[in-house]
Amino acid sequence: MEIHNRGWRRPEPKPGQGKAELDTPALLLDMDAVEANIAKMARWFEGRQCRLRPHAKTHKLPLIARKQVEAGAIGITCAKLSEAEAFFREGIRDVLVANEVVGERKIERLGEVARLGNLIVCVDDPGNARAIACAARQAGLVIRVLIEVDTGLSRCGVKPGEPALALARAIRGMDGIELAGIMGYEGGLFIKDPGEKRSHAEASYRALVSVRDLLVGEGIPVGIVTAGGSNTYALAGSWPGITDVQVGSYVTMDPYNGEYGVDFAQAVTVLATVISRPEPGRAVIDAGMKTFSTDHGLPTPLGEGITVDRLDEEHGRLALDGPARGLAVGDKVELVPSHGCTTIPLHEQYVLMRGGRVHAVAPIPARGALY
């Protein structure tokens, strides 16, 4: 993607270039690590009844989604309707929007996007379900929905038990929508003690599967029982009754997930340039808070003796020790963002790397898909 500013054209990375030749800041994606992560997760799910429905809100890149589907994923998950549209238009055929789609214009758009592929959305409110059903009828469609169940996160979702059953009964009587199953989410259980994490996760699975049993007991089919994330994939993927898991961060990784036991290769980094050496123990790079998210802390430089001690909007301040004191203006520094999910959308493109050299440039079609 070319970025124009008053007639100046940013140099595009060229295949074969090394990192030292790249203009910065640059979002790098190690495709060897990405493919290894996809293969590792796919191997874990081989032979299991539970399947993968990877969440694309992290990478936002159809190229990765296609690789995940080729490795056995049954489809992908998105967070927003516009994200789903971006993936449909790039050839992905099965997309779950793991979120509610609310509002007249969005529901009208839902009817249009549902024509592009196999789309599923979540509901937790009968009025919203009726609005979706009405739009589907007007479009001559049947839209599949999942009931989102609050299994402990206290975000969206109806409570297990009678509230979930009441919503299922209401949906069952609506022309234009089809109840495809239920969804819960416990992937936000970032708990370092494995026993405590397991205890909380299993309570969530019991609540979710109890809703399935309640609905089936009423003669309401439940084909999909989806849950989980990278943080809990081994727990969710082993729980009887869970049909698929929405793994996301594993494919690019970040230190935040690594702290909680997610063991995959780091694939996404940011390359920056030293623009100032004001004093022996300090350097400044051309990457700040508009390059890195800081919701889970500061980025981690690759290289001995370098730490980030502050980010401003367009500057990153590095503390230097030992051999790092030899850094000069113009040198490149590679950093690992603390949280990939919120850093990646700050960038317009990936520089795809293989063996430390540029392989290709990939614009991020789902960047800015907030609606």
Report the pLDDT value the prediction gives residue 6, as an integer from 0 to 100. Answer: 58
Mean local confidence (pLDDT), 166-184: 97
- Assess if CATH 1.20.1510.10 describes domain 31-252: no
pLDDT digits (tens, 9 = 90+) for 129-145: 999 999 999 999 999 99
Question: Which of 64-78, 183-197, 318-332 has the lowest average pLDDT?
Answer: 183-197
High-pLDDT (> 90) share of the chain, %: 94
Compute the residue count for the chain: 371
Q: What is the model's pLDDT at position 5? A: 54
The whole-number average pLDDT for the span 114-120 is: 97
Local confidence band at 1 (pLDDT 50, 70, 90 cut-offs): very low
Average pLDDT over residues 262-281: 97
The answer to whether residue 368 scores a pLDDT higher than 90 is: no
* pLDDT, greater one: 7 or 288: 288
Q: Can you tell me the mean pLDDT for 191-211? A: 96
- All residues at 6 or more sequence positions from 52 whose CB lies less than 8 Å from its CB, including other chains: 41, 42, 45, 68, 72, 73, 74, 244, 245, 247
Q: What are phi and psi of 4, to 5 degrees?
A: -105, 140
Q: How confident is the model at residue 369 (pLDDT cuts 50, 70, 90)?
A: confident
* 221: pLDDT strictly greater than 80: yes
Averaged pLDDT of the chain = 95
Exposed, middle or buried: residue 294 (CB in 10 Å: 0-12, 13-18, 19+)? middle
Instruction: Give the pLDDT confidence of 299-314 residue by residue, as tens digits.
Output: 999 999 999 999 999 9
pLDDT at 286 over 90: yes
In this predicted structure, the answer to whether residue 2 has a pLDDT above a threshold of 80 is no
Residue 4 pLDDT class (50, 70, 90 cuts): low
Amino acid 9: pLDDT? 77
Element (H, E) at 270: strand 268-279
Confidence of residue 163 (pLDDT cuts 50, 70, 90): very high
Q: What is the pTM of this model?
A: 0.95
351 neighbors 23 (Cβ within 8 angstroms): no
d(CA 167, CA 133): 14
| C-beta atoms surrounding 66 within 10 Å | 16
Ordered by start, the domain boundaries in the chain are: 13-29+264-363, 31-252
The predicted pLDDT at position 114 comes to 96
Q: How confident is the model at residue 371 (pLDDT cuts 50, 70, 90)?
A: confident
Write the pLDDT tens digit of every residue in 56-75: 999 999 999 999 999 999 99
Contact 225, 246 (CB under 8 A): no
Nearest by Cα to 269 from 252, 281, 286, 256: 252
Mean per-residue pLDDT, 155-173: 97
**pLDDT of res. 277:** 98
- Percentage with pLDDT > 70 across the chain: 98
Q: Say whether pLDDT at 3 is over 60.
A: no
Give which of 150, 1, 140, 143 is closest to 81, Cα–Cα.
143
Pick the CATH number of 13-29+264-363 from 3.90.1200.10, 3.40.50.970, 2.40.37.20, 1.10.10.10: 2.40.37.20
